[in-house]
């Protein structure tokens, strides 16, 4: 495999992991914009815009977009997060040009008022659906409390109020500002005709704005709070806890991921044996979320209401023991083996490599090859695990609990 990059003039940067032995081609536009880039009054506009991209362009109707994706036999989708919006497709290599043409056309949607009003109702229904399905709203509430006053407190879906008040002109202005060539990356992986990709993308994006769209990075002051959400349709109790974590470029991020795996991955972790294998809880997990300027560690516990207090005590005891006493070499080796195997297996698929490259480029404007990442995991020691545990999990967490209001 060979990583090639290209940028000429004011065109977009193009990054491709080329593998002549691959059987598929994966292509995506990675846009450095998400919920954290929205003004409070525009909360949810990035996700709303992700939907609107598929409602038609100057060259294609919504029906033509969908039919063309079907004809390509593409596995395609889009997603929006706090800091990125991604549009991607995996196709057979002979369909590369058609897939690039379609995805690039979608980056300049028509944003027609009638489509906007129709899709607004879809978004409002999506927000209502998640509000009715715990623990989804609890994660958003926990982030709001933990990152209060920081852009990361913005909900990806927005709220019913902000989405109801958005106008199509608001979205057009946001698109013009954030979907600039300086803020977008064309990423490809698999069997790629790189010269053809460069020539086609540069031709298709001629005349697009390349005005910088910088993101203001702010190290947050974390807030610690407790909140309870009552739901009349839930039979389980859900507990979400958030601690400080590591940024996407923090050298401690490797130790942090290993720490979370040792404490609470879905097999062989301390909480697996304490809570899952014993049947005391349905879910007990711990995982890092990393952003450009900061990060957090999210804990999630789901169990019967009558077991919630006892299980929470067990979860906090296990976390406290790692902070105070550390972990064993055997635990570290097991966690490292699982993560390394997962990374290697994932890297074999062009679609997975597409995301690894794109997300790395969004965070640091370069790609860390798999062998470099594996060496960094190999270098983590038990002392590193305890040190990162003390820095993060010894702090008081923000907690949101979902209970049955009866």
Please give the model's pTM, rounded to 2 decimal places: 0.95
Distances (CA, A) of 340 to 56, 81, 262, 367: 42, 26, 14, 18
> Hey, what are 211's tokens?
């005005």
CA dihedral 308, 314, 319, 322 (to 10 degrees): -170
The CATH architecture of the domain made up of 226-404 is 2-Layer Sandwich (3.30)
| CATH 3.30.830.10 residue window(s) in the chain | 2-204, 226-404
pLDDT by 10s per residue, the chain, length 406 = 789 999 988 789 999 999 999 999 999 999 999 999 999 999 999 999 999 999 999 999 999 999 999 999 889 999 999 999 999 999 999 999 999 999 999 999 999 999 999 999 999 999 999 887 888 889 999 999 999 999 999 999 999 999 999 999 999 999 999 999 999 999 999 999 999 999 999 999 999 999 989 898 888 889 999 999 998 878 899 999 999 999 999 999 999 999 999 999 999 999 999 999 999 999 999 999 999 999 999 999 999 999 999 999 999 999 999 999 999 999 999 999 999 999 999 999 999 999 999 999 999 989 989 999 999 999 999 999 999 999 999 999 999 999 987 6
- Measured in whole angstroms, the distance separating CA 153 from the mean position of its chain's CA atoms is 15
User: What is the token pair recorded at 34?
Assistant: 């998400």
Q: 277: buried, middle or exposed (CB in 10 Å: 19+, 13-18, 0-12)? A: exposed
Cα separation, 4 vs 204, in Å, equals 20
Q: Which fold has domain 2-204?
A: Cytochrome Bc1 Complex; Chain A, domain 1 (3.30.830)
Distance of CA 361 to the CA centre of its chain: 14
Tokens of 319: 């976390």
Token digits for 313?
């005590």
213 contact partners, CB below 8 Å, separation of at least 6: 32, 33, 177, 178, 180, 182, 183
């Amino acid at each position: 495999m060979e990583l090639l990059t290209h940028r000429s003039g004011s065109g977009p940067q193009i990054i491709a992991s080329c593998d002549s032995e691959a059987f598929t081609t994966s292509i995506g536009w990675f846009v450095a914009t998400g919920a954290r880039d929205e003004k409070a009054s525009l909360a949810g506009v990035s996700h709303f815009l992700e939907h609107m991209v598929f409602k038609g362009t100057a060259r294609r109707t919504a029906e033509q977009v969908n039919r063309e994706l079907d004809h390509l036999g593409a596995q395609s989708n889009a997603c929006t997060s706090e800091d990125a919006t991604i549009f991607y497709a995996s196709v057979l290599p002979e369909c590369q040009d058609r897939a690039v043409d379609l995805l690039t056309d979608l980056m300049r949607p028509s944003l027609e008022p009638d489509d906007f009003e129709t899709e607004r109702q879809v978004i409002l229904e999506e927000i209502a659906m998640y509000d009715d399905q715990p623990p989804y709203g609890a994660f958003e509430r926990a982030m709001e409390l933990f990152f209060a006053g920081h852009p990361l407190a913005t909900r990806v879906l927005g709220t019913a109020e902000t989405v109801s008040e958005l106008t199509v002109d608001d979205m057009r202005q946001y698109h013009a500002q954030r979907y600039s060539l300086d803020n977008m990356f064309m990423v490809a992986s698999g069997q790629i005709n790189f010269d053809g990709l460069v020539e086609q993308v540069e031709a298709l994006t001629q005349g697009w704005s390349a005005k910088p769209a910088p993101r203001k990075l702010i190290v947050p002051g974390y807030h610690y709070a407790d909140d309870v959400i009552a739901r009349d349709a839930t039979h389980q109790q859900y507990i979400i806890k958030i601690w400080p974590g590591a940024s996407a470029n923090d050298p401690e991020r490797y130790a942090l991921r290993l720490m979370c795996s040792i404490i609470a991955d879905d097999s062989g972790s301390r909480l697996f044996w304490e809570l899952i294998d014993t049947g005391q809880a349905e879910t007990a997990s711990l995982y890092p979320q990393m952003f450009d300027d900061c990060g957090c560690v999210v804990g999630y516990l789901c169990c019967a209401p009558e077991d919630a207090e006892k299980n929470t005590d067990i979860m906090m005891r296990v976390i406290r023991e790692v902070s105070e006493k550390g972990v064993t070499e055997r635990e570290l080796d097991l966690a490292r083996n699982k993560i390394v195997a997962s990374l290697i297996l994932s890297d074999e698929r062009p679609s997975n490599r597409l995301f690894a490259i794109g997300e790395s480029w969004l965070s640091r404007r370069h790609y860390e090859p798999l062998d470099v990442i594996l060496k960094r995991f190999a270098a983590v020691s038990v002392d590193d695990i305890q040190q990162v545990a003390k820095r993060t999990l010894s702090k008081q967490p923000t907690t949101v609990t979902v209970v049955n209001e009866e």
